[in-house]
Amino acid sequence: MTSAETTEALIRRYFAIVADLASSEDELRAVLHPDAVLRELPNPIAPTGHVRGVDETVAGFLAGKERLTEQRIDVLEVLVAGDRAAVRSVWHGRLGDTEITSHMAGFITVRDNRIAAHDTYDCYEPFALPGA
């Protein structure tokens, strides 16, 4: 495998772990660099955005598993340049009876064959949460 193929495989594995409601904290930690920083830019779910280290990311990952009844991420495109990659994907989730879809652009840095940084720009389709 080339370096670009290895990076793409890691990124696809990372997205598969995040999307799988049956995946474990240990699986996520295995693909995250210990110093990883994940930035979620402002969006309707996180109006001020978030910057998280590994522990905060894992906490959000576990909280999502408690709230969502189903989810999937369709990775549409991964463009690799050195230790950086641009990822275009679509997230589909269900919160109760509400389906939510987000078109995502992400920029990922890989270090030591692990995710070291992930900046995500989430563009949500219109939705209304129950009781809103």
CATH number of the domain to which 65 belongs: 3.10.450.50
- Copy the structure tokens of residue 57: 């990311």
User: Is 76 a domain residue?
Assistant: yes
Structural domain harbouring 114: 3-124
Domain assignment present for residue 130? The answer is no
Specify the higher pLDDT residue, 102 or 96.
102
Q: How many domains does the chain have?
A: 1
Across the beta sheet with 84-95, the strand order is 50-52, 32-40, 114-124, 98-111, 84-95, 70-81
132 assigned to some structural domain: no
- The Cα–Cα gap between 56 and 62 comes to 10
Per-residue pLDDT reduced to its tens digit, 27-47: 999 999 999 999 999 998 899
Measured CA to CA, the distance from residue 11 to residue 108 in angstroms comes to 8
Q: Closest Cα to residue 128, out of 103, 95, 105? A: 95
Over range 77-86, report the average pLDDT. Answer: 97
Section 102-122 average pLDDT? 98
Is 49 contained in some domain?
A: yes
User: 104 lies in a domain?
Assistant: yes
| The two three-digit tokens of residue 119, written as one number | 């900046």
For residue 41, CA distances in Å to 24, 53, 94, 120 come to: 25, 15, 21, 6
- Is pLDDT at 62 greater than 70 in this prediction? yes
129 belongs to a structural domain: no
